[in-house]
Amino acid sequence: MAVMTFRQALHDTLRDEMHRDENVVLMGEEIGVFEGSYKITAGLLPEFGERRVRDTPIAEEGFTGAAIGAAMLGLRPVVEIMTINFSLLALDQIVNHAAKIYGMFGGQARVPLVIRTPGGGGQQLGATHSQNIELYYAFVPGMKVVAPSTPADAKALLLAAIRDDDPVLFLENLALYNTKGDVPDGDTPAEIGRAAITRRGSDLTLIGYSRTAFVANQVAQELAETEGLDIEVVDLRSLRPLDRATIVESVKRTSCAVVLEDDWLTYGIGAEVAATISDGAFDYLDAPVRRVAMAEVPLPYSKVLETAALPSHEDVINAVYQTLDAVGRRRPAARR
């Protein structure tokens, strides 16, 4: 067990997998000589050479298409798209080709491709560089979409993604790169499609993924210390496939739920989670499912406006209070 940053966990996992399997190759803009915009690939070019660490032109559709072809022929490409916003330029290759080939070829060809890409706001990168559009890919059958929130899951889910025979979108939130946590030794992959209950509780279920799962655990800890509340936290980890069973079973235990997301509320991931709860745990609910999401605006560049648009700790706490107050479940200390 070692303590490391989210960034270091990704770097070390890529390096270890490249040593383990010579078919693992990296592709992306500035990942070689410049060592990547976020330094995830630092030092890998001199260690593995240009054949396995490929700097590409600024042409997302072109190098993503090349990676799909390479995957069909036996390699395991890990493509870094500098930001998920730029993946829109490769949308045709990802949605119409990578996600469809296995089905359209009757199972005769696989696409063991990983697309690593960061997203999220809070970095003052403007509206076109700060989006959370993972929903575009989670919507598509044939794709797998994972979103780790801790260094340990960054390692375990990246191992799983690289070794999977299907295309996987691996979502990284920029705000998580410098967060630290324990990372187990060994190379045990996570199970794609399995959520994690990162904190047990009985008063309410908080559900999030990526950065919002990180926030959910912080809020649950704070409310335990200041209000005596017993909050359960579900980290989705995987958006497709979605672990509906874990969501439903948690809400059946607590009878209340708040869903957190960094994307827009309308048609968001939270809508699917809320529908899942309604389908599987409606009779157990003591209050309506509440959702916390960002404002329905292109994210402003101004730091003050950007912060106001993103879901905050206070927004989550208020949603928890409103839900528990509706059913009379807050502790007396919370009313002082």
Residues labelled catalytic: 60, 129
Answer yes or no: are the C-beta atoms of 121 and 299 closer than 8 Å: yes
Given a contact cutoff of 8 angstroms between Cβ atoms, the answer to whether 112 and 141 are in contact is no
Contact status, residue 173 vs residue 123, Cβ threshold 8 Å? no
Which residues, listed in sequence order, are joined to residue 232 by a DSSP beta bridge? 205
What DSSP state is assigned to residue 200?
-
247 backbone dihedrals φ, ψ, rounded to 5°: -60, -50
- For 277, phi then psi, to 5°, come to -65, -40
Tokens read off for 145 = 């979409």
The type of residue at 150 is T
Give the alpha-carbon dihedral of 312, 315, 321, 322, to 10 degrees.
Answer: -160
Which residue has tokens 């790169």?
177
Q: Coil, strand or helix: which one is 169? A: strand
**What is the rounded CA–CA span in Å between residue 223 and residue 230?**
8
Sign of the C-alpha dihedral, residues 80, 84, 85, 88?
A: positive
